[in-house]
C-alpha cells in the first residue's frame, strides 16, 4: 500500500514575476553552475538523476590511472553531499583494466544503480553496480554488489541506459560490438541482479539495423512494457537515425516501423539519434545531430514508428546555433508540452553547453533564452553537455564535463524554465484543481473547475514526462465544477510525480508524492 500526497502549497495558480526562462538559476552552485573533481585531472559525466529528497546524482568516470566508474551526489543547492560515499563521491574498483559509468537510476527503496562498462584486458562488458543510499556498495546485489554481462567473446559491450520496470526488474540498453560490426543490445535483470530468462530466452537481446554498425544511445519504457531504442545505423558510409521497438518478451514488435525497426536519413552522412522521450499519446521525439555543420536534429514519430508530418518540416526540425558544430544529446518534455533539447554548440572554436526549447509544433520558443536558444560557458575551455533532467520544482538541470586549466571536471548548470511550481498553464481561461483527502490511500478524488467545455485527458507522469497511468482520454467535460474518482496502480514506485489534466489549449499539473 502507498500514499499519494498532494502538496497544498503547490496548488496556487497564476503567473508570477520571474527571470527570463533559460536564465541560469542563481540559487544553484555559483551563479547557476558548479563543477566537481572526483579524480585530480580527468573526469567525464554522462548520467544524471534526482532523488525524492531532491538530491542530485551524477554518473560518469574519473581517471588517474585506469578509468573508474564514479557517482557524485549533490545537495539541492548544487554543493557536494558530505553524507554520500567519501566526501560526496562513490566509486567501486571492478575490472582488470577499469570501468566507466554512463547512466544512473534510483530504485523506489532509495538504492542507486550505476550502469556502464567494465574493462577486462581486450574486451568490455555491460556493468551494473548497486549502491546503498549512503553510497556504499550493496553486497546483497548479485553476491558482490555488481553484475557484468557479455554478449560474446572478445566483444566490446557498453550499457548507456537503465530502465526500471514497475515490477522491479532492470533493463539495460546499449551497444554490443564485435569484429564484424555492432548491434543494439538489451539485457533484463531480476531484482537480485541475475539475468531474466523470460526476456528473449536468456535475458539478452540484440537488434541489427543497417549494413555494419548499429549503436544505441537512448531508450524509453512504454506503459505497456514495450521498450523503444534509439541510436544510429550505418548504411554504406552514412549514418542514419535508427529506432527499434521490442515487446516485453524481448522480441521485435512487428507493429512498429518495418518489422520492429525504422530508420530516417536526414540528408547527411552523420545523422544520429542521441536522445529519446515518450509523449503522453504514445508518440515520441528523438534528438540528435545532422548536416555537414552538425546541427541539432529533432524528430517526432507517431506511435507506429512513422514520422509525424504535422511536426516541423514533415516530422523534422533542425537548429543551428552559430554556424558551427552543434550536438543534441538530451531531450525532455515539459508538462506544458514544450520540448527542450540539450547538448553543446561551438561558439567560435570552443564548445559550450547548449539548450534549445521548442513549442509542441517544433517551432523555437522565442520566450526561452535568446530566440529559443541558450549557451553556457564555464570558463575558457571546452564544455560538453550530455544528460539533462526536469527537476520536481520545474527547473532544468544539465550535466556534462568541462576542460580548463589542465583538468576535466564534472560540470552542471541549472536553468529556470518559467514553469510555475506544481501548476502549469500558459493560456486563459485557467483551470484549477485539488486532490483530496490529503494524504490518501490507493484512491483519491480530484476536484477541478473547467471554465469552458472541452475534451480532457488525465495522466500521471514522472518528472521526465513519461506517462505511468492514464485515467481518461479526451473525455468530454462541460464547464463548471468536476470531481473524478481516481484509483492508482498499487505497484507505483515511491517518488515525485505529476498529475496532469490537459486539453488542446489548456493544462493543469499538480505535483504529487507517492510513498510506499
Distance in angstroms (rounded) separating the CA atoms of residues 246 and 230: 12
Q: Which residues pair with 132 in a beta bridge?
A: none
Confidence of residue 503 (pLDDT cuts 50, 70, 90): confident
Residue with cell 548536416: 291
Contacts of residue 349, Cβ cutoff 8 Å, sequence gap at least 6: none
Q: Is residue 313 part of a domain?
A: yes
Q: C-alpha grid cell for residue 70?
A: 564514479
For residue 59, give the nearest of 107, 118, 111, 101 by alpha carbon. Answer: 101
Which of residues 319, 353, 377 is at a domain's end?
319
Give the pLDDT confidence score for residue 513 in this predicted structure.
66
- Which pLDDT tens digit goes with each residue over 9-43? 333 333 333 479 999 999 999 999 999 999 999 99
Contacts of residue 173, Cβ cutoff 8 Å, sequence gap at least 6: 159, 160, 161, 163, 184, 185, 186, 216, 218, 219, 227, 229
- Which pLDDT tens digit goes with each residue over 404-439? 778 999 999 999 999 864 433 323 333 456 666 545
pTM comes to 0.81
How distant is the alpha carbon of residue 96 from its chain centre? 31
For residue 70, give the nearest of 44, 49, 94, 91 by alpha carbon. Answer: 91
Mean of all residue pLDDT scores within the chain: 88
Collapsed DSSP state (helix, strand, coil) of residue 285: strand
Q: Is residue 401 part of a domain?
A: no
DSSP string, 305-319: SSB-TTTTBTTEEEE
Q: What integer is the mean pLDDT of 134-143?
A: 95
Residue 10 φ/ψ, nearest 5 degrees: -95, 0
For residue 160, give the nearest of 171, 150, 152 by alpha carbon. Answer: 171
Distance in angstroms (rounded) separating the CA atoms of residues 413 and 428: 32
Q: Is the peptide bond before 272 cis (omega within 30 degrees of 0)?
A: no
Q: Which residues pair with 308 in a beta bridge?
A: none
Give the pLDDT confidence score for residue 280 in this predicted structure.
85
Distance in angstroms (rounded) separating the CA atoms of residues 350 and 321: 13
Q: Is residue 284 part of a domain?
A: yes
- Contact of 149 with 172, CB cutoff 8 Å: yes
Q: What integer is the mean pLDDT of 189-193?
A: 96
Q: Is residue 255 part of a domain?
A: yes
Which of residues 302, 319, 336 is at a domain's end?
319
Confidence of residue 515 (pLDDT cuts 50, 70, 90): low
Residue 8 φ/ψ, nearest 5 degrees: -60, -35
Confidence of residue 112 (pLDDT cuts 50, 70, 90): very high
Q: What integer is the mean pLDDT of 245-270?
A: 97
Q: Is residue 442 part of a domain?
A: yes
- Which pLDDT tens digit goes with each residue over 154-172? 889 999 999 999 899 999 9
Q: Is residue 270 part of a domain?
A: yes
Which of residues 273, 288, 319 is at a domain's end?
319
Question: Residue 309: which CATH number?
Answer: 2.40.128
Q: Which range of residues forms the domain containing residue 311?
A: 209-319
User: CB atoms < 10 A from the CB of 349, how many?
Assistant: 7
Number of domains making up the chain: 2
Amino acid at each position: 500500500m502507498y500514499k499519494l500526497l498532494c502538496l497544498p502549497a503547490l496548488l496556487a495558480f497564476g503567473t508570477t514575476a520571474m527571470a527570463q526562462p533559460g536564465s541560469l538559476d542563481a540559487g544553484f552552485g555559483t551563479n547557476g553552475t558548479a563543477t566537481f573533481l572526483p579524480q585530480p585531472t580527468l573526469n567525464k559525466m554522462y548520467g544524471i538523476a534526482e532523488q525524492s529528497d531532491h538530491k542530485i546524482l551524477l554518473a560518469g568516470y574519473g581517471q588517474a590511472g585506469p578509468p573508474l566508474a564514479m557517482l557524485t551526489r549533490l545537495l539541492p543547492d548544487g554543493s557536494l553531499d558530505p553524507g554520500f560515499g567519501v566526501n560526496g563521491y562513490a566509486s567501486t574498483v571492478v575490472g582488470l583494466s577499469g570501468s566507466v559509468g554512463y547512466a544512473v537510476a534510483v530504485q523506489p527503496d532509495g538504492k542507486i544503480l550505476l550502469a556502464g562498462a567494465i574493462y577486462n584486458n581486450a574486451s568490455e562488458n555491460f556493468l551494473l553496480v548497486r549502491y546503498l543510499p549512503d553510497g556504499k556498495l550493496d553486497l546483497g546485489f548479485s553476491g558482490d554488489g555488481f553484475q557484468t554481462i557479455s554478449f560474446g567473446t572478445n566483444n566490446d559491450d557498453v550499457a548507456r541506459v537503465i530502465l526500471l520496470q514497475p515490477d522491479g526488474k532492470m533493463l539495460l540498453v546499449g551497444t554490443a560490438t564485435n569484429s564484424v560490426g555492432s548491434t543494439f543490445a538489451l539485457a533484463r535483470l531480476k531484482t537480485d541482479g541475475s539475468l531474466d530468462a523470460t526476456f528473449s530466452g536468456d535475458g539478452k537481446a540484440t537488434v541489427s539495423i543497417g549494413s555494419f554498425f548499429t549503436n544505441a544511445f537512448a531508450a524509453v519504457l512504454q506503459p505497456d512494457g514495450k521498450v523503444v531504442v534509439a541510436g544510429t545505423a550505418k548504411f554504406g558510409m552514412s549514418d542514419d537515425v535508427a529506432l527499434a521497438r521490442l515487446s516485453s518478451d524481448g522480441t521485435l514488435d512487428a507493429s512498429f516501423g518495418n518489422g520492429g525497426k525504422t530508420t530516417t536519413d536526414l540528408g547527411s552522412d552523420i545523422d544520429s539519434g542521441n536522445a529519446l522521450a515518450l509523449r503522453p499519446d504514445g508518440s515520441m521525439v528523438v534528438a540528435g545531430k545532422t548536416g555537414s555543420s552538425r546541427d541539432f536534429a529533432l524528430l517526432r514519430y507517431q506511435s507506429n514508428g512513422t514520422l509525424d508530418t504535422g511536426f516541423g518540416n514533415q516530422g523534422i526540425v533542425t537548429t543551428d546555433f552559430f554556424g558551427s558544430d552543434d550536438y543534441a544529446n538530451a531531450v525532455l518534455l515539459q508538462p506544458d508540452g514544450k520540448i527542450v533539447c540539450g547538448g553543446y554548440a561551438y561558439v567560435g572554436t570552443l564548445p559550450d553547453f547548449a539548450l534549445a526549447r521548442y513549442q509542441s509544433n517544433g517551432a523555437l520558443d522565442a520566450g526561452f533564452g535568446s530566440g529559443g536558444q541558450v549557451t553556457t560557458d564555464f570558463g575558457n575551455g571546452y564544455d560538453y553537455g550530455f544528460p539533462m533532467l526536469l527537476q520536481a520544482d520545474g527547473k532544468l538541470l544539465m550535466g556534462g564535463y568541462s576542460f580548463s586549466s589542465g583538468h576535466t571536471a564534472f560540470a552542471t548548470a541549472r536553468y529556470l524554465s518559467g514553469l510555475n511550481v506544481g501548476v502549469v498553464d500558459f493560456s486563459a481561461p485557467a483551470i484549477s484543481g485539488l486532490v483530496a483527502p490529503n494524504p490518501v490511500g490507493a484512491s483519491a478524488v480530484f476536484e477541478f473547475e473547467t471554465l469552458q467545455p472541452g475534451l480532457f485527458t488525465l495522466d500521471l507522469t514522472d518528472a521526465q514526462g513519461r506517462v505511468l497511468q492514464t485515467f481518461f482520454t479526451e473525455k468530454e467535460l462541460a464547464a463548471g465544477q468536476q470531481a473524478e474518482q481516481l484509483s492508482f496502480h498499487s505497484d507505483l514506485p515511491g517518488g515525485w510525480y505529476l498529475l496532469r489534466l490537459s486539453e488542446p489549449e489548456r493544462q493543469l499539473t499538480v505535483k504529487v508524492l507517492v510513498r510506499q
